[in-house]
Structure formats: structure tokens, C-alpha cells
A and B are shown apart, each in its own frame.
Chain A
Amino acid sequence: MQALIRRLTESYGPSGSEDQIRDVVRGEIRGLADYVTIDPLGNLIAVVKKKAKSGKKIMLAAHLDEVGFVVSHIDAQGFARVQLFGGVNPLACVGSRVRFADGRLGVIGIEARRDDLTKVPAVNELYIDVGATNAADCPLRLGDAAGFWRPMELAGRRLIAKSLDDRIGVAILIETLRSLKQTPHEVAFVFSVQEEVGTRGAGAAAFGLEADVGLAVDVTRAGDTPNGPRMEVRLGGGPAIKVRDARMIADPRVRELLEQRAREAGLATQREVLEGGSTDAAAMQIARGGMPAGAIAVPTRYIHTPSEMVELGDVQACVALLTRFLQRPIEL
């Protein structure tokens, strides 16, 4: 699974520019589903057809896109001024490397003569330097998008990579699709677009699919770092089952069923009570006449920086839990 995660996290795909990462995922899932489609917004949808009459229609979502930068101006010296796609952590920017769709690398700089050097950088103080010497020489255009660039690394039982949010969810969906030998349900694996700019892809996909139950697989924060976020979730504690986040309250029936399936399989889980951020499930829950929805989250440190960290055991447990969830009856 590590090789898969490497291929996914080392691919390019800021919000709205998911063509490359979508092609990578398409290659990984070839032959595994009954059919695969790309919808009008660019979501990649792989469907495993229903095998039993009592089966339900389940929508799973993991988003393809990653946070990033979009060029808003090329100044006279050839520096690209930027805006952000998604909640990029500005503290993680200075000195970081970014990559554009054509593979071109750039480094993020910051205006040195700022009003207050102790303050978190504002986005209009940042720029991307691609080695251009003046505006005419700069190959970028307004609207070109870049993502962080870093190779994946292994640190003990943990992985460090850019865009684990949410390529780790993508990897979990792919592994689940591979390991899912039998299911009574129709399962739509949705690799969604534009989550980081407001869960735009998954909402549309949910409307189109009209599923009975929806689950997002995404990352959540972990409270186990020095003076860290105030939450109980920790790396190595197992999949975090969503209770609430900033935009949604998980359907209690979905949450309880996930917890029950984990108990049956002897898998440890945690409860995710998140005050900032949300996932595709928030949009799925209110599509059409509503969809009972929840989420499984991988505890993750340093989210929206070039060096996100997860524990492999948590990831494998997510695959095991999701597989079991899909193999068993789903009655709410």
C-alpha cells in the first residue's frame, strides 16, 4: 500500500486541476469496478453493482484535490503573486517548493520588509519564484495553479507526505475496492474534485447518485502534539468516526453502525469531535431530500502543510473497517 500512497501523494492536483491525479487513480482501479464514469464536474466514479436484493446504495467519497496556490499577478520582476486554494497554512509556506501542472517548480518567498515580522504572513505578502527575471520572461499566466511539492518519506510506522489530505482517503478507497470480494450493496466509489474550496464536487455527485447512505473518507486533526489541538484523537488510536465538525453533525445511526462494525472486528476506533474544517460528507448529507451521512477520518498531523503525517496502522484499520462495513447489511 505504501507504493500506492507514494504514487498518489506525489501526483499533482490542486482544486480545479484534478486531471493528472484523476488519470493516476483511473489507472489504479482499472478492471476493479463494474463501470467507471467521469461526471460533468470531473468526479471519477467507480461503481460496484448490487449483488443482493436487500442491498443498499452506498456512496463513498475521498477527494482528489489538494490545497494549493493560484497565480493572481505577475509583477515587473517576474514574481508570481498568489491566492490560496483551500486552507493552506501560511506558516508552512515560506521556503516551500511548489509545482505547476507542467511540472515546473517554484519556491515560495515572502516580502522581507513587512509591517510586522512576528505576524503570520498574509497571502498578499507571499510570492512564487520560478526563476523568471522579468514579467515577459515568466511562463505563468493568471489562474495557473500549483500544489506543494515534496516526495513521500517513511518515518518508523508513520508516513510523511504532502497531500495525504486526502490522497490517503483515495488510497483507502482504492484498497477497499481491491479487497472487497463480496458485497450485497451497490457501492459508488467517488473520487471527488474541489473539496478544499467548499466540497463542490461531492455535493453534485451525491445529487446524481441518489444513494441511501454516504460516507466520506478523509483526514482529521490529532490532539497528541505538544500543546496541540484540544481533541482526544491521536495517531495510532485507529480510525476516527465523525461525530461533528464545523459544518455537519454526522448521522448518529451511521456513526453507531460504524462503531458496531469496528467492535465486531476487534478494531479500535476513536470519536472525531472537530470544531474547524469539514469534509465531503457535509455536502452529501443535504443533497436532494437528504442523505444519512457520516465519515471515517485518518488521524493526521500538520494538515495543509507540505509534511502531513499519518500512521500506517490507522490507514490499514480504515480499510478493514470500510471493507467490513460494505460486506455486512446496512440497516439504519
Chain B
Amino acid sequence: MPFDILAHLKALCAAPGLPGHEAPARDLLRAAWSPLTHWLETDRLGSLCATRQGGGPRPRPRLMLAAHVDTIGMLVTRLDGDFLRMSRLGDVDERTLPGQLVTVHGRHDLPGVIGQPPAYLLPKNGREQVTPLSELVVDTGLPAERLRALVQAGDLVSLAQPARELQNGLLAARGLDNRASVTALTLALSELQSRAHAWDVVAVATVQEEFGLRGAGPAAFALAPDLAIVIDVTFGRDANTRDLAYRTFPLGGGPVLGLGPNIHTGLHSAVKAAAERAEIPYNLEVMWEHSGTDAFGIQVAREGIPTMVISIPVRNMHTPVEIVALADVIRTGRLLAEFAAGLDPGFMGQLALD
């Protein structure tokens, strides 16, 4: 490997980057992508677009590889004495919040804990059930006066569990959704350095996916790519998901290729062929309506863009202890590189419907 994937992924997971406030993660990524690409720009909403120029004749078709770089978290709604009240930015899982470590991004970063009020302080119907976010507090331990000097409504709160390496090449961390996919993008860019590719390849770290898929559509509008592949996470199989109706995917089983109205059939087949060429194992995921990813916005940008979704299985999604298999990240990166390198200048002609 030309670079230390594990270190890169851990560093990315450690960087804050709530929806609409992705700058820390973007800065880290800019440094990593800059030596691997010919030019970089940040679009009007903050998505980082890094282009590797292809070797084919002009006008060169353009492949967009998009993974969102924002992570879920919270936002201070108001100060309540010594405590902070919060609202969610993205679908944070309340079940995992009591006792959770957080960082409050006030005038400077403050460590904090999410406090669970005792039952007798909660509304009657809240005692038996999981305490809703609106009843939980963020506690920095500071007295009200000091807190007021450092924090105001609108300040951000990040989940703050550090990454931990588990057995068998698994990594547990906050923000693997979707920093695992961003790492696969870095890997693909790195592999493409030593491989010829006819198309321009644009890696895009999109913003605000966790807050209504808002960044990817505008990014696709501005780039107007010929094809787009979205890399995101999907549901990993474990004891918690084994019995659910939804088909889940084994960690270490390779990337998961999406199918459905959000995905172009021809593009799906071409990615599958690339996986088979490179002997990369994969699974299939049926996305019968909305793919739940940036592909939803990208597909309908401008006059319509053939779109594909590749997913990396992750356990415990939207908790601060998401788990991924490094092998899947690496295979996804290789698959992207294999597909991009295999695109010939006339590929669009093969994609036409009827």
C-alpha cells in the first residue's frame, strides 16, 4: 500500500465535520488528495472536488466518485443553567446517548458527557421508554456563568469516542459512516496514479448528506458528470441485525452493489464486470425505491445522470461505535480504480437505453 490506510481512516474519523460544518474533515482531506490529483476546488456549499485528468482525447468524459464527508451530531438549542439542551443534526440514535462522550465546539472545544436525568425528573410517559433527545442534557461540568461565557445557542456538539482496533482487521469508530467510503476514494485516487485512465475522474467529498442529502445534487449540477458512483455504507450483519427482515451484509464480504430505480442498469452491470475482472468479491443490495444515498440527488441533476451506488457494510450505523472491515474498504477502493481505469472513451454509447 502506498499510504497507511488505517492511519488515514482513523485521522478522518477523529476530525469533526457535522452537516454544514465540514471544514475540519475537508481540510484534512484536501491535504491527502492534493498530491493525488491535478486540481482541487471547494464548491459553493463546501463539497471538495478533486480531479485526476484522464489520458483520453478531448472532450473527455467525466466520472464523479462521491462520498459524503459529514457525520451526524448535535447542536445546542439553549442553555439551561449548568447544562446544555440540544437538537440533532442527522439521525442520531438516542438509545446510545446516555453516558456518551461528546465535544462541545464553543469558543474553544470543551469535553462533555451526555447526562441522563433520573426518572422522577422526566415527563410521565418518558420514564419507561428511551429518553428522547429533548430531555437529555450535555454536561460540561462548568457552572452556568462560565458556560454562558463559552457556549451559545447554535454551537455544535460532536460525538467523541476515539477509534479502537478490534480483532480480525475490524475497526470500531465514530463516523465510519461515511469516512470509510471517503477512505476508499483516497485509495482509488492513489491506485490510479499508477494506472492509465482515459476519463477524467473527479473525487467529491460531499456535504450535508446526513441533513437531507443537500450537498450532492448541487455538486453534481456544478460538475455535470457523465456518470456518477456514490460510495456510502450499508447495514453490516451481526447479532443485532441477523433476525431483521432487511437483508444485511457480512463484514469482510466485499463491497455491496446496489440495484433499483435509483441506479442505472447498464452502469450496475459495468461495475459488476469490473469486480469480476479484478476478482473482488461482492454482494447485491436491492434498493427498491430511494437508495437513501447521495445518488438520489445526483441522478436527477440537470438532464439526468446515470448513477450507481457501492456500499461498504458497517455495523451499528449511526452510533459512535460503528464497525467496518478494513478489507472491505480496500476492496472498494480497488473496485473504483478498476472501474475507472477500464472506462474507454466510447463507454457512454454502450449505456443508451433502447
Q: Which residues of A contact B (CB under 8 A)?
A: 223, 230-232, 243-244, 247-252, 255, 270-271, 273, 275, 285-292
Contacts and interface: CB of A to CB of B under 8 A. Distances in A.
B218 A243 contact: no
Interface class of chain A by DSSP: loop
Interface stretch (B72-80, B237-245, B332-340): B72-80
B218 A289 contact: yes
Contacts of B87: 244, 273, 275
Contact of A249 (B20, B44, B219, B221): B20
Given A232-B78, A249-B208, A292-B44, A286 B153 contact: no
Contact of B75 (A273, A287, A288): A273
Contacts of B221: 288-290
Contact of A243 (B43, B44, B75, B79): B75
A231 B134 CA distance: 11
B325 interface: no
Contact of B45 (A230, A243, A290): A290
B112 interface: no
Given A244-B89, A271-B154, A291-B44, A252 B214 contact: no
A248 B19 CA distance: 10
B212 A247 contact: yes
A248 B44 CA distance: 15
A286 B222 CA distance: 11
Given A244-B154, A270-B153, A290-B43, 6 more contacts: A249-B21, A255-B154, A273-B153, A290-B44, A290-B221, A292-B45
Contact of A290 (B21, B152, B219): B219
20 contacts: A243-B154, A244-B75, A244-B87, A247-B212, A248-B211, A249-B20, A249-B89, A252-B21, A271-B153, A273-B87, A273-B154, A285-B45, A286-B218, A288-B218, A289-B218, A289-B221, A290-B218, A290-B222, A291-B44, A292-B45
A322 to B, nearest CB: 20
A215 to B, nearest CB: 15
Contacts of B44: 289-292
A287 B172 CA distance: 37
Given A232-B153, A243-B154, A291-B44, A285 B78 contact: no
B299 to A, nearest CB: 15
Nearest to B87: A275
A232 B154 CA distance: 10
Given A273-B77, A286-B214, A290-B43, A243 B21 contact: no
A291 B21 CA distance: 15
Contacts of A285: 45, 214
B219 A289 contact: yes
Interface residues of B, number: 28
Interface of B: 19-21, 43-45, 75-79, 85, 87, 89, 134, 152-154, 208, 211-212, 214-215, 217-219, 221-222
Contacts of A287: 218
B152 A271 contact: yes
Contacts of B154: 243-244, 255, 271, 273
A230 B135 CA distance: 11
Given A249-B19, A273-B75, A273-B78, A289 B43 contact: yes
B78 A230 contact: yes
B20 A251 contact: yes
Nearest to B47: A290
A153 B86 CA distance: 36
| Most interface-central of B75, B152, B154 (chain A CB within 10 A) | B154
Contacts of A232: 77-79, 153
Nearest to A241: B154
A292 B77 CA distance: 22
A230 B77 contact: yes
Q: Identify the 6 closest CB pairs spanning chains A and B, nearest first.
A: A289-B222, A249-B20, A290-B218, A243-B154, A290-B45, A290-B44
A199 to B, nearest CB: 13
Contacts of A270: 153
A231 B77 contact: yes
B319 to A, nearest CB: 22
Contacts of A231: 77-78, 153
B76 A273 contact: yes
A292 to B, nearest CB: 6
Nearest to A291: B44
A270 to B, nearest CB: 8
A76 B85 CA distance: 52
B134 A230 contact: yes
Nearest to B79: A232
Contacts of A248: 211, 214
Contact of A230 (B85, B89, B217, B218): B85
Contacts of B45: 251, 285-286, 290, 292
Contact of B20 (A252, A275, A286, A288): A252
B336 to A, nearest CB: 24
